[in-house]
Amino acid sequence: MRRFYEWIADHPYVVIGITLCVTAVFLAFIPRITTDTDFSHYIDPNDPGLVATRRAEDRYGAQSLLMVAIENTQGIFNQATLTKVAEMQAAFAAIDGVDDVTGPLNVQIVTGTETSLWVGPAAPRGTVPATAEEMAAYRDRLLQSNTARGYVVASDEQAAAISIRLKAGTNELAVTEKVASVAKEYNSSPDRVHIIGLSYMNVVLAETMGKDLRILLPLVILAIILVLYLSFRSVRGVLLPLLVVILSTGWSVGLMGAIKVPLTIISFILPVILMAIGVAYGIHVLNRFYEAIDSGLGRRTAVVETGLQMLAPVLMAGLTTVAGFLSLLNSVLVPQRDFGPFAAIGVAVAMVLSLVLIPAFLSLLRPPRQRAHRGESGFVNRVLSVFGWLVLRHRRSVLVVSAILFVAFLSGLSILRIETAETEFLGKESPVVQAMNVLERHFSGSGQLMVEIDTGVRDGLKEPALLSKIVELESYLEAKGVKKTSSLADLVREMNQKFHADDPSYYVIPEDRKLVSQLLALFTFSGGDLGNLTLGDFSAGEVMGLYPVGRSSDQVKLVRDVTAYLKAHFSSPVEAELVGETRISASLHARIARSQISSLATSIAASGAIVALLMASFVAGLISLVPLLLTIAINFGVMAFTGTPLNMATLMVSSMAIGMGIDYAIHFMSRYRREILAGGSAEKALQSTILTTGRGIAFNALSLVLGFILLLASSFKGTRDFGLFVAMTMAISALSAFTVIPAVLITWHPKFLTRTARMRRKERETSTRVE
Amino acid sequence: MDQKRLAVALALIIASLAACVAWGAAPTGDEILVQVDQQGEFLGEGSLVTTLRFETVYADGTSSTNLFGALGNRREGGPEYSLVYFLEPADLAGTIFLSAKKAGEEARLWLYLPALGLPKELVSEEEKEDSFAGSAISYQDIGGRDLAGKYRAEIVREEDLTVGDLVRSVYVLSLTARPGATSDSALETMWVDKEEYILLRAESRSASGVLERVVEFAALGRFEGKLTADRIVARDFAGGSTTTITFLERRRPAIGLPDGLFVPESLATFDPATYGLTAR
């Protein structure tokens, strides 16, 4: 490797030129980067719940709606609010791509009398009632209708909903943006207008991601500049590591564009994270270079020695971080699986460029004046010295306190929650979540539960016995907390009642199959839309339910119970299966815990193995894991005790903490061993390590903590939690490296610290004997 | 589609059998539209019995078939009657829609469900432009759309159009909605037979030019010497369904249909076999 670094020192322009050429290639692909905010794409396409849901979408159409809700806590039955509703309905209907708009004014209501069936819009001519009497009659008609109440008007009269159906093949996002633009115009007190639907969530997420990046990227760059300046107090000390992280981020993001991997709500923070993480390698390399210059070496020699001495620790630190990110490949969430490799690539590039490009630049630049670079920050040295003193005087106490902390925080694991819902990631203040809360407050809830009933034969759903079973299923669902259900059975019962002069005693499934068929024909010929209640040939259909969304664990229980019910009550040839978001969410929830354990185990094992391999010591690998285990325990404990759940983003914290946190242990142990091998006592080695490498670790940790804490400026709660907990784990990992690692090393004096020295001594003895 | 439209639509199908009005000098686009409207609104005098099959393939890949018998009756200055009787499928057989329209009045519609043996009048506040019997075809597609009132038309070109085995000379019209008119589509293109002013094909597009629906005659025939559709195919690109309407039989009954047939009270005793209507 010496020849390699000598070559770099002699050919810096070649290194810089090659780097710039490769960078240009990757930068060219950045404009091609796309975003994917669709949560349904975030799940393994082979997930059984997702497969069943996709099949249902193919058969019945979209499983989610675009809806606009108007909330007025003083009631919606007034001229002003309903005029807004009427104007919005007309405006939505005029948008190209909108197929049908149904709201409280134009919803079709069927009224039965002895001699006739009346079919028409809830409001006469679909217009706002003009007089108080007309308003009262309209209100009664709407609230008494099973098809209107709970769908287009809330039972509490404080909200109305306009349902928008898009034409097949329409650009959903474009239409949704137009809908949002119209809705915004009418959002004025006392009426609050909210938009609900997956396409709207995608629009909001795409906008928010862009806004976040525009804020976070400059912030993280400023933070890095600040840390680098504090650390080196020189232009080169700031610019060289900064250049490395900008290039590595460009390479990684450019690669995403080249192979068409979109940015997701997880990976959009990749540039921010890579900058925060990647700067560490540059800090350590520069730190060592200045040490070499301080020791009186010339520029070329200092470059070569720096490269040689930093190769192993930077390689170890980089590879363990890469391993931590690659462990995300075990995740059940596609965004994490996409994020992991590209973060790993970015880290690897930062590692390589720190070891190659920085030495190349240093070979060109005039050597710094001795000691001028350090800024002589006495405060930092004093703080670091305190750690040295603490370990030397109270190493057993350090170990005991660490053990107590480990056990105490680990005990929180039992109450740690997993939440897979989008709302948990988005946060309460998100317009998407606020809109969903309108459904929770005034309608039947924002959770959608769907059961597909497939008879496999034409007109199979028209069998009265099966329809009665569906009615029983709906009763069961309601007993389980589902507030509103709808099915073909409901429709048949309603039409039967209407045809019998609205007599409630006829709200039953007729025993005659022909009558069922004729009532359904009556409904469709009356302009009724069967939607996803049934396929065109009545061989299969869906039972839909709305429920208030609580915790993910409640969803899992609901899915488990309903699945058991379906299995017990529907048998071949009739197949009944849960489909839709509730099943997907429950399936994810169950798999996430396993995936988390698997990710953690992988990253712990990989990191320990890398350290063991590169330090040629199994014990070294084990010791490097000690502070990590403490960090993970504290991370989970704090999350549990503060009620922060594991969500799409915070799930990654532990794996990342391992990959990045172990770096401190590596740098510390490498330097400590070098000091021991150089013949120093434990006390001297510790003091020297803590004031040299410890300084690098401190600034490295500071840059990471600052970089990740900036994520608190994100609009997403999940990202904010992620930033906060990664920052916390980085701080704990660094503190552990200053305390737990030296306490272990000094207490047990593991053999790997002196093995190389003993081997060299043996070799010398052998050669002496030969002579 | 509501029941009123169903009945009117079927009456118009019947009417289309006899629709044929000669036109003299080279017309303008708007004049052609007037003529097409007249064709659509023209109800052949006397009684007519028709059997039609609706075959719909839905967006979900499933399909359904309905067989109807339709009886129509009209006398000069008198009321217009139509009765639609479901022949197939078996569980809908016997279901009847009855429409009666007296001069100057709105049409009234009754529904008879054989499983209950009760006729009910269906009252609809306003007409809609929904699909016909859940198919890809709408009332407007079949006829009687007041095209001249809703659209301005320009002749784009003249060309030959192949319909089944026949090649017909057609006017290709480009229609744009009249200001203030409630039009069904922002843009329409129509192919109108030059000789008999029958609408042979129509394309509906959204304001941005996206094709939403195509209705075309797939086979032509003659009834009482007039050009008529033997088969119509309608594709609804927005909903994803396709409907094929096949006219299986058109005939004049030997004796005119009595008005007493077209009253709600007689629906329970209506015997399709009397009029030669049988399932196939």
Give chain A's mean pLDDT. 86
Q: Do A117 and B206 touch (CB under 8 A)?
A: no
Tell me the CB-side half-sphere exposure of residue A364, using CA atoms within 13 A.
14
Q: Do B123 and A116 touch (CB under 8 A)?
A: yes
Please, is A691 exposed, middle or buried when counting C-beta atoms within 10 Å of its C-beta (0-12, 13-18, 19+)?
Answer: middle
What pLDDT, on a 0 to 100 scale, did the predictor assign at position B127? 46
Same domain, A180 and A221: no
Searching chain B, which residue's CA lies closest to the CA of residue A520? Answer: B92
Q: What is the DSSP string of A664-682?
A: HHHHHHHHHHHHHHTT--H
Instruction: Determine contact, residues A327/A603, Cβ cutoff 8 Å.
Output: yes
Tell me the per-residue pLDDT of A247-273, one tens digit each, with 9 for 90 and over. Answer: 999 999 999 999 988 888 888 888 888
d(Cα A262, Cα A270) in Å, to the nearest integer? 12
> What backbone phi and psi angles, to 5 degrees, belong to A278?
-65, -25
Give chain B's mean pLDDT. 78
Interface test with B, best of A498, A506, A518, A519 (most B CBs within 10 A): A518
* Domain presence at residue A430: no
Q: Do A515 and B113 touch (CB under 8 A)?
A: yes
Q: Which residue, of A196, A221, A237, is where some domain finishes? A: A196
Residue labelled with tokens 């009427």:
A86
Of the listed ranges A220-234, A373-387, A751-765, B241-255, the one predicted with least confidence? A751-765
Does the pLDDT of residue A682 top 50, yes or no?
yes
d(Cα A198, Cα A172) in Å, to the nearest integer? 10
Residue A455 CA to chain centroid, in angstroms?
39
Tell me the per-residue pLDDT of A93-107, one tens digit each, with 9 for 90 and over. Answer: 888 878 788 899 988
| Region A418-447 average pLDDT | 83
Element (H, E) at A641: helix A618-641
Same domain, A414 and A522: no
Same domain, A294 and A403: yes
Q: How far is CA A151 from CA A187, A444, A744, in A?
A: 20, 9, 65
Q: Do A527 and B239 touch (CB under 8 A)?
A: no
Please, is A630 exposed, middle or buried when counting C-beta atoms within 10 Å of its C-beta (0-12, 13-18, 19+)?
Answer: buried
Q: Do A525 and B1 touch (CB under 8 A)?
A: yes
DSSP state of A715: S
Q: Do A525 and B6 touch (CB under 8 A)?
A: yes
Contacts of A459 in chain B (CB under 8 A): 89, 91
* Domain presence at residue A55: no
Contacts of A119 in chain B (CB under 8 A): 2-3, 122-125
> How many contacts, defined by CB atoms under 8 Å, are there between A and B?
128
Q: What is the DSSP string of A45-94?
A: TT-HHHHHHHHHHHHH--SS-EEEEEE-TT-S-SHHHHHHHHHHHHHHHT
Between β-strands B166-177 and B63-74, what pairing exists: parallel, antiparallel or unpaired?
unpaired
User: Of A529-533, A699-703, B17-21, B133-137, where does the model show the most confidence?
Assistant: A699-703
Under CATH, domain B3-270 is a member of which superfamily? Lipoprotein localisation LolA/LolB/LppX (2.50.20.10)
Of residues B86 and A64, more confidence is placed in B86
d(Cα B125, Cα B119) in Å, to the nearest integer? 19
Of the listed ranges A337-351, A503-517, A645-659, B252-266, the one predicted with least confidence? A645-659
d(Cα A254, Cα A120) in Å, to the nearest integer? 57
What pLDDT, on a 0 to 100 scale, did the predictor assign at position A168? 61
Q: How far is CA A108 from CA A111, A219, A373, A715, in A?
A: 10, 54, 78, 40
d(Cα A189, Cα A71) in Å, to the nearest integer? 10
Between β-strands B63-74 and B46-57, what pairing exists: parallel, antiparallel or unpaired?
antiparallel
pLDDT band at A602 (very low <50, low <70, confident <90, very high): confident
Q: Do A515 and B56 touch (CB under 8 A)?
A: no
Q: Which residue, of A579, A598, A624, is where some domain finishes? A: A579
Element (H, E) at A425: helix A422-426
Same domain, A165 and A74: yes
What pLDDT, on a 0 to 100 scale, did the predictor assign at position B99? 86
What pLDDT, on a 0 to 100 scale, did the predictor assign at position A513? 93
Domain of residue A133, CATH code: 3.30.70.1320
Same domain, A153 and A217: no
User: Of A177-186, A275-284, A576-585, A615-624, where does the model show the most confidence?
Assistant: A177-186
Instruction: Determine contact, residues B36/B146, Cβ cutoff 8 Å.
Output: no
| Region A531-544 average pLDDT | 88
Same domain, A569 and A668: no
Does the pLDDT of residue A314 top 90, yes or no?
no
User: Of A86-90, A528-532, A761-765, A766-770, where does the model show the most confidence?
Assistant: A86-90
* Domain presence at residue A51: no
Tell me the per-residue pLDDT of B36-95, one tens digit each, with 9 for 90 and over. Answer: 877 755 445 688 898 999 898 988 888 889 899 989 887 777 788 889 899 998 899 999
Same domain, A75 and A94: yes
Contacts of A60 in chain B (CB under 8 A): 60
Tell me the CB-side half-sphere exposure of residue A511, using CA atoms within 13 A.
0
Share of chain B above pLDDT 90, in %: 22
Same domain, A182 and A219: no
Please, is B179 exposed, middle or buried when counting C-beta atoms within 10 Å of its C-beta (0-12, 13-18, 19+)?
Answer: exposed
Of residues B151 and B5, more confidence is placed in B151
Same domain, A736 and A597: yes
Three-state secondary-structure class, residue A719: helix
Tell me the per-residue pLDDT of B107-136, one tens digit each, with 9 for 90 and over. Answer: 788 889 998 888 888 876 654 444 444 454
Does the pLDDT of residue A659 top 80, yes or no?
no
What radius of gyration, in Å, describes the C-alpha atoms of chain A?
Answer: 33
d(Cα A449, Cα A398) in Å, to the nearest integer? 53
Three-state secondary-structure class, residue B46: strand
Query: What end-to-end distance do the CA atoms of chain B give, in Å?
Result: 26
- Secondary structure percentages of chain B, helix, strand, coil, to 5: 20, 45, 35
Searching chain A, which residue's CA lies closest to the CA of residue B2? Answer: A526
Structural domains of chain A, count: 3
Contacts of A168 in chain B (CB under 8 A): 59, 237-240
Does the pLDDT of residue A182 top 90, yes or no?
yes
What pLDDT, on a 0 to 100 scale, did the predictor assign at position A372? 47
Contacts of B130 in chain A (CB under 8 A): 527
C-beta neighbour count of A58 within 10 angstroms = 11
Does the pLDDT of residue A771 top 50, yes or no?
no
Residues of B near A (Cβ–Cβ under 8 Å) read 1-3, 6, 56, 58-64, 86, 89, 91-92, 95, 97, 111, 113-116, 118, 120-126, 128, 130, 133-134, 206-208, 210, 212, 237-241
What pLDDT, on a 0 to 100 scale, did the predictor assign at position A589? 77
Read off the amino acid at residue B68.
Answer: F
What pLDDT, on a 0 to 100 scale, did the predictor assign at position A334? 82
Does the pLDDT of residue A376 top 70, yes or no?
no
Searching chain A, which residue's CA lies closest to the CA of residue B61? Answer: A59
Same domain, A191 and A207: no
Searching chain A, which residue's CA lies closest to the CA of residue B265? Answer: A115
Instruction: Determine contact, residues B194/B171, Cβ cutoff 8 Å.
Output: yes
Same domain, A125 and A144: yes
Searching chain A, which residue's CA lies closest to the CA of residue B57? Answer: A536
Structural domain spans, chain B: 3-270
What pLDDT, on a 0 to 100 scale, did the predictor assign at position A61? 67
Read off the amino acid at residue A324.
Answer: G
What pLDDT, on a 0 to 100 scale, did the predictor assign at position A42? 73
| Region A503-518 average pLDDT | 93
Domain of residue A13, CATH code: 1.20.1640.10
pLDDT band at A69 (very low <50, low <70, confident <90, very high): very high
The alpha-carbon gap from B125 to the nearest alpha carbon of chain A, in Å, equals 5
What pLDDT, on a 0 to 100 scale, did the predictor assign at position A664? 85
> What backbone phi and psi angles, to 5 degrees, belong to A84?
-60, -45
Tell me the per-residue pLDDT of A440-456, one tens digit each, with 9 for 90 and over. Answer: 888 888 888 899 999 99
Token pair recorded at residue A680: 């120093």
Does the pLDDT of residue A159 top 90, yes or no?
yes
Q: Do B123 and A97 touch (CB under 8 A)?
A: no
What pLDDT, on a 0 to 100 scale, did the predictor assign at position B198? 85
Same domain, A190 and A335: no
Which residue range forms the structural domain that includes residue A614? 2-38+203-423+587-765
Searching chain A, which residue's CA lies closest to the CA of residue B186? Answer: A96
The alpha-carbon gap from B16 to the nearest alpha carbon of chain A, in Å, equals 22
**Exposure class string for A284-322: b at 16+ Cβ within 10 A, else e:** bbbbbbbbbbbeebebeebbbbbbebbeebbbbbbbbbb
Question: Measuring CA to CA, which residue among A286, A307, A306 is closest to residue A373?
Answer: A286
Instruction: Determine contact, residues A347/A322, Cβ cutoff 8 Å.
Output: yes
Q: What is the ipTM of this complex?
A: 0.79
> What backbone phi and psi angles, to 5 degrees, belong to B54?
-110, 120
Contacts of A522 in chain B (CB under 8 A): 111, 113
d(Cα A607, Cα A622) in Å, to the nearest integer? 10
Query: What end-to-end distance do the CA atoms of chain A give, in Å?
Result: 31
* Domain presence at residue A58: no
Q: Which residue, of A196, A228, A262, is where some domain finishes? A: A196
Share of chain A above pLDDT 70, in %: 95
Token pair recorded at residue A365: 């630049």
Residue in A58, A116, A458 closest to B121 by CB:
A116
Question: In the sheet where A575-579 sits, what is the strand order?
Answer: A484-486, A540-547, A447-454, A575-579
pLDDT band at A336 (very low <50, low <70, confident <90, very high): confident
Residues with Cβ within 8 Å of residue A640, at least 6 apart in sequence: A412, A413, A414, A415, A416, A417
Token pair recorded at residue A238: 């700031």
d(Cα A635, Cα A632) in Å, to the nearest integer? 5
The alpha-carbon gap from B21 to the nearest alpha carbon of chain A, in Å, equals 32
d(Cα A612, Cα A700) in Å, to the nearest integer? 23
Share of chain A above pLDDT 90, in %: 35
* Domain presence at residue A670: yes
d(Cα A266, Cα A262) in Å, to the nearest integer? 11
Question: Measuring CA to CA, which residue among A379, A297, A283, A376 is closest to residue A9?
Answer: A297
Token pair recorded at residue A180: 């949002």
What pLDDT, on a 0 to 100 scale, did the predictor assign at position A179? 92
* Domain presence at residue A155: yes
| Region A463-485 average pLDDT | 94
